[in-house]
């Protein structure tokens, strides 16, 4: 079977990454959208889940080059797949529990600083504790479930389906949770902790629960990600992931699970679109009449001719998207304006 080419391959990969970011955004939405917790360390839960999956399924170090990790379980695929994903969710939740236990009492902005800093610490731990994480080399032999039985294309498509199914399942689970009195409890704590306390609700416990649930979802996303790429490297888990997820959530509309998913896909699509900048440029250049062929190079000549210039436009694109949303549609695509405009506002 021929490899998926061009647009098809691109769409399948963007779709899968979109599903993974959809999961991450759903998790963050539990924190920020529903509970008002400004979590700026979301990537740490994602990383925790990815590493948990890797450790559970990696083959022994003797079979891997540059291996220095000392803990591996080498559970057999594909049966280990659900175990690995469960481990990812549990470890993501456990990290959220630990961070939440110390930080969740902090008010909004202080929590943002604490989570950001703790995520930085966690990232350093991942780089330095090579016995566990294989350091900056990363875990590069994470098995892809079912890959041996399927051709590359079929596997890519199957994994996309699996990721989409996971996203749907988590979405339905969270919808159920948030439409139940539990969601009402989270929202009340978001709106006014003081009032929630005087109405007999234990707000710190509520916030901790919210933190753990969102952390579990992000950890699960990490597991899906690890088995998709087949490798887990510290350089993948940078703060930009957290901010991309924020962009998706705000674009889609905080406190809306539908918004979280749509926003995540939109942001991922925007981000990946930068790879077409060169193609578009060349296409325009080729269609221009000869008389105008000097125009584009003149216009763009002040820009640095650096191979990393175009990829770095990713962040610019997301930044611009961010500004546009905040300026023109603060409630996002699916957010409820009456609900969102009061978000973070103390009575």
Q: How many CB atoms within 10 Å of residue 286?
A: 8
Total of chain residues touching another protein, rule CB under 8 A:
35
CA–CA distances in Å: residue 190 to residues 3, 94, 100, 178, 196: 49, 23, 16, 13, 9
Q: How far is the CB of 58 from another protein (least distance, A)?
A: 32
Nearest CB to another protein, comparing residues 32 and 69:
32
Please tell me whether the peptide bond between 78 and the residue prior to it is cis, using omega within 30 degrees of 0: yes
Q: How far is the CB of 333 from another protein (least distance, A)?
A: 18
Nearest CB to another protein, comparing residues 148 and 342:
342
Helix axes 152-179, 257-273, angle to 10 degrees: 150
Which of 82, 127, 202, 278 is the binder for another protein (CB under 8 A)? Answer: 202
Helix axes 309-328, 239-252, angle to 10 degrees: 40
Which of 86, 106, 164, 173 is the binder for another protein (CB under 8 A)? Answer: 173
Nearest CB to another protein, comparing residues 50 and 250:
250
Element (H, E) at 127: helix 108-128
Is residue 169 close enough to count as binding another protein by CB under 8 A? Answer: no
Q: How many CB atoms within 10 Å of residue 326?
A: 12
Q: Using CB under 8 A, which residues numbered 90 to 129 contact another protein?
A: none
Is residue 199 close enough to count as binding another protein by CB under 8 A? Answer: yes
Q: Using CB under 8 A, which residues numbered 208 to 267 contact another protein?
A: 209, 213, 255
Query: Contact at 8 Å (CB) between 254 and 29?
Result: yes
Which of 59, 188, 239, 330 is the binder for another protein (CB under 8 A)? Answer: 188
Stretch that binds another protein, among 71-79, 113-121, 171-179, 303-311 (CB under 8 A): 171-179
Which of 89, 111, 185, 325 is the binder for another protein (CB under 8 A)? Answer: 185
Is residue 340 close enough to count as binding another protein by CB under 8 A? Answer: yes
Assign 3-class secondary structure to 139-164.
ECCCCCCCCCCCCHHHHHHHHHHHHH
Which of 129, 152, 176, 275 is the binder for another protein (CB under 8 A)? Answer: 176
Which of 1, 2, 76, 181 is the binder for another protein (CB under 8 A)? Answer: 181
Helix axes 181-191, 203-229, angle to 10 degrees: 110
Q: How far is the CB of 267 from another protein (least distance, A)?
A: 24
Find tokens 């079912």 and name the residue: 146
Query: Contact at 8 Å (CB) between 189 and 65?
Result: no
The secondary structure of residue 48, as a DSSP letter, is H
Binding site for another protein (CB under 8 A): 173, 176-177, 180-185, 187-188, 190-192, 194-203, 209, 213, 255, 338-343, 345, 347
């Amino acid at each position: 079977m021929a490899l998926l080419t061009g647009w098809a391959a691109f769409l399948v990969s963007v779709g899968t990454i979109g599903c993974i970011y959809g999961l991450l955004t759903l998790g963050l939405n539990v924190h920020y959208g529903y509970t008002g917790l400004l979590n700026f360390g979301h990537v740490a839960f994602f990383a925790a889940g990815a590493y948990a999956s890797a450790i559970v399924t990696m083959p022994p170090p003797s079979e891997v080059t540059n291996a220095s990790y000392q803990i591996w379980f080498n559970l057999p695929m594909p049966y280990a797949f659900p175990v690995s994903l469960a481990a990812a969710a549990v470890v993501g939740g456990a990290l959220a529990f630990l961070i939440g236990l110390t930080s969740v009492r902090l008010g909004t902005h202080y929590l943002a600083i604490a989570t950001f800093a703790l995520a930085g610490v966690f990232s350093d731990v991942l780089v330095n504790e090579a016995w566990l994480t294989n350091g900056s080399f990363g875990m590069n032999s994470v098995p892809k479930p079912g890959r041996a039985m399927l051709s590359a294309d079929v596997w890519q498509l199957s994994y996309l389906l699996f990721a989409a199914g996971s996203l749907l399942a988590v979405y339905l689970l969270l919808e159920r949770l948030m439409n139940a009195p539990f969601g009402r409890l989270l929202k009340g704590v978001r709106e006014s902790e003081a009032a929630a306390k005087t109405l007999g609700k234990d707000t710190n416990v509520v916030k901790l629960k919210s933190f753990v649930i969102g952390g579990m979802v992000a950890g699960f996303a990490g597991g899906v990600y690890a088995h998709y790429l087949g490798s887990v490297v510290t350089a993948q888990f940078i703060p930009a992931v957290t901010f991309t997820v924020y962009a998706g959530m705000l674009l889609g509309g905080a406190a809306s699970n539908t918004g979280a998913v749509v926003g995540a896909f939109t942001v991922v699509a925007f981000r990946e679109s930068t790879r077409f900048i060169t193609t578009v440029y060349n296409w325009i250049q080729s269609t221009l009449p000869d008389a105008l062929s000097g125009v584009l190079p003149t216009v763009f000549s002040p820009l640095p001719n650096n191979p990393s210039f175009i990829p770095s436009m990713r962040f610019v694109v997301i930044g611009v998207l961010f500004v546009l949303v905040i300026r023109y549609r603060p409630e996002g695509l699916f957010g409820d304006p009456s609900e969102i405009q009061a978000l973070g506002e103390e009575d």
